[in-house]
């Protein structure tokens, strides 16, 4: 019995929470970028506020009347700013991970994707990117916690 307790103590001592968390985030980075794309499509920025276009203040929430007509003709949503036209920008989103923190950026690729990304940041501000508290909570509950429980059980024998 004491040997089992000693093994548990050694396993817990060797368990690195931050390293395991980062490994889970790395293995699920596509899900973070997907959450970002969904959040953009709903027209919400990282603060949970409606995405605005800085240079369209006189028009209200975002799109100019001409853009709204063009989007309606294409069958696209125009009642909120989504930064989605062809979908190339959304497909270019990737998760960058450093020191246990993650950010969503454009992987670049084509000049069109990079230009759209830079235009989005210039016209809507840096806060357009980043997961809202509810998106982070969704990721934690649906991905991080279940994977963490699995790793903890595997490496220490403890079940949460």
E strand map for 21-151:
93-98, 101-106
**pLDDT in tens for each of the 160 residues of the chain?**
677 777 777 777 777 888 888 899 999 999 999 999 999 999 999 999 999 887 655 555 677 788 889 999 999 988 889 998 888 889 899 999 887 788 898 887 677 777 888 888 988 889 999 999 999 999 999 999 999 999 988 888 888 7
Put simply, whether the predicted model's pTM sits higher than 0.85 gets the answer no
Q: Enter the DSSP assignment of 143.
A: I
- What confidence score (pLDDT) does residue 135 get? 95
- What confidence score (pLDDT) does residue 131 get? 95
- Give first-to-last CA distance, the chain, whole Å: 21
Q: How big is the CA angle at 62 (ends 61 and 65), to the nearest 5 degrees? A: 105
Q: What are the structural domain ranges in the chain?
A: 17-156
Judge contact between 124 and 134, C-beta under 8 A. Answer: no
- What confidence score (pLDDT) does residue 134 get? 95
Task: State the CB neighbour count (10 A cutoff) for residue 151.
Answer: 17
- What confidence score (pLDDT) does residue 88 get? 86
28, 80, 24, 73: which is closest to 49 by C-alpha? 80
Show Cβ contacts of residue 93 under 8 Å, excluding neighbours closer than 6 positions.
Answer: 33, 36, 37, 104, 105, 106, 107
């Amino acid at each position: 019995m004491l040997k089992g307790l000693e093994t548990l103590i050694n396993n817990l001592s060797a368990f690195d929470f931050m390293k395991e968390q980062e490994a889970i985030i790395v293995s699920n980075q596509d899900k973070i970028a997907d959450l970002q794309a969904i959040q953009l499509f709903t027209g919400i920025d990282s603060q949970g506020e409606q995405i605005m276009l800085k240079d369209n203040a006189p028009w209200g929430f975002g799109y100019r009347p001409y853009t709204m007509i063009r989007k309606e003709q294409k069958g696209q949503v125009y009642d909120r700013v989504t930064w989605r036209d062809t979908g190339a920008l959304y497909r270019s989103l990737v998760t960058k991970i450093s020191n246990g923190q993650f950010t969503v950026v454009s992987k670049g690729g084509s000049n069109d994707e990079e230009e759209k990304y830079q235009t989005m940041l210039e016209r809507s501000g840096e806060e357009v990117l980043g997961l809202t508290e509810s998106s982070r909570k969704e990721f934690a509950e649906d991905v991080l916690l279940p994977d963490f429980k699995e790793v903890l059980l595997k490496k220490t024998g403890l079940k949460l």
